[in-house]
Amino acid sequence: MGLILEVAGLAKTYPGQTVLRECSFTFKPGRTYALMGPNGSGKSTFLRIAALLEPPDAGEVRYLENGAVRPHDLALRRRLNLLLPRIGVFNTSVFHNVAYGLKIRGRRAQEIEARVNDILLQVGLDHKRGQNGLDLSSGETKRLGIARSLVIEPEVFMLDEPTANIDLKNTEIIEQIILSMKAAAKATIILVTHDPAQAKRVGDHLLALENGHIVPL
């Protein structure tokens, strides 16, 4: 039984614009959700709130496990991950970029070495292991971001337009990675995308953010 993400009555307003209003939904563990909506509809805001990066103006984000609500502490935050549209690449090697999440969790060097090498192979960046992360192409940078997320094995993995502005080859690679995660069913995946075809290819559930509400399609 994994983490259940439940949002209830979320509201968020920026000056001159309300992006979320009375937004409620329950995301079941191990399922993959594709969330669509026009620009400015609040998809990114929703993900940031769900990932506990910013508070809503009203409403609640609840993570439930075995029927109990988990407190919003570091332990919970470390079970979630949001892949932002812009990957903040650290000025160090690809290896150390990917190892970051494990290092800050105090994992042993041997485990880090093995895990990172395995993930780099999965995302096709094993040959760039020693290269500075800042020297990667935009598609490779996205894959680096996904590798950094995969290595920490998030139980709720949110991706904010991971294939925006990258070529077809990299898009296919990233979709394959998400589909592999979906097949493993170890994480709840929430993918924000503008591409309805991609949403259908990847998602178990298609959702739209309309007028501040999440609605199933």
Partner 1 sequence: MDSIIQGFLGAVRLIITLDPEFLHIIFLSLQVSGTALVVATCLGLPVGALLAQRRVPGRGLILSLLSTGMGLPPVVVGLFFYLLLSRSGPLGFLALLYTPSAMIIVQTVLAFPIVASLSHAAIAKVDPVIRQAAVTLGATPMQEVLTVVREARYGIMAGVMAGLGRVMAEVGGILIVGGNIAGYTRVITTTIVLKTSMGDFELAIALGIILLLIALGINLGLRFFQQAGGVRSGVILWD
Q: Which chain residues interact with partner 1 by CB under 8 A?
A: 51, 53, 74, 77-78, 81-84, 86-91, 100-101, 104-105, 132, 134-135, 148-149, 152
In the complex, what is the shortest distance from the CB of residue 21 to partner 1, in angstroms, rounded to a whole number? 25
In the complex, what is the shortest distance from the CB of residue 211 to partner 1, in angstroms, rounded to a whole number? 28
Nearer to partner 1, 69 or 134 (CB): 134
Nearer to partner 1, 58 or 84 (CB): 84
Q: Are 191 and 203 in contact (CB under 8 A)?
A: yes
Q: Are 209 and 42 in contact (CB under 8 A)?
A: yes
The two structure tokens encoding residue 175: 């979709």
Nearer to partner 1, 74 or 184 (CB): 74
In the complex, what is the shortest distance from the CB of residue 213 to partner 1, in angstroms, rounded to a whole number? 25
Nearer to partner 1, 15 or 88 (CB): 88
CA atoms within 13 Å, Cβ hemisphere of 7: 26
Nearer to partner 1, 9 or 14 (CB): 14
Nearer to partner 1, 146 or 208 (CB): 146
Cβ-proximal residues to 192 (8 Å cutoff; 6+ apart), any chain:
35, 36, 43, 44, 47, 158, 159, 160, 161
In the complex, what is the shortest distance from the CB of residue 82 to partner 1, in angstroms, rounded to a whole number? 5
Q: Report which secondary-structure segment, H or E, holds 150.
A: helix 138-151
Map residue 137 onto helix, strand or coil: coil
In the complex, what is the shortest distance from the CB of residue 161 to partner 1, in angstroms, rounded to a whole number? 14
Report the distance separating Cα 130 and Cα 55, nearest Å: 38
Burial bucket for residue 116 (CB in 10 Å: 0-12, 13-18, 19+): buried
In the complex, what is the shortest distance from the CB of residue 164 to partner 1, in angstroms, rounded to a whole number? 15
Report the distance separating Cα 161 and Cα 165, nearest Å: 9
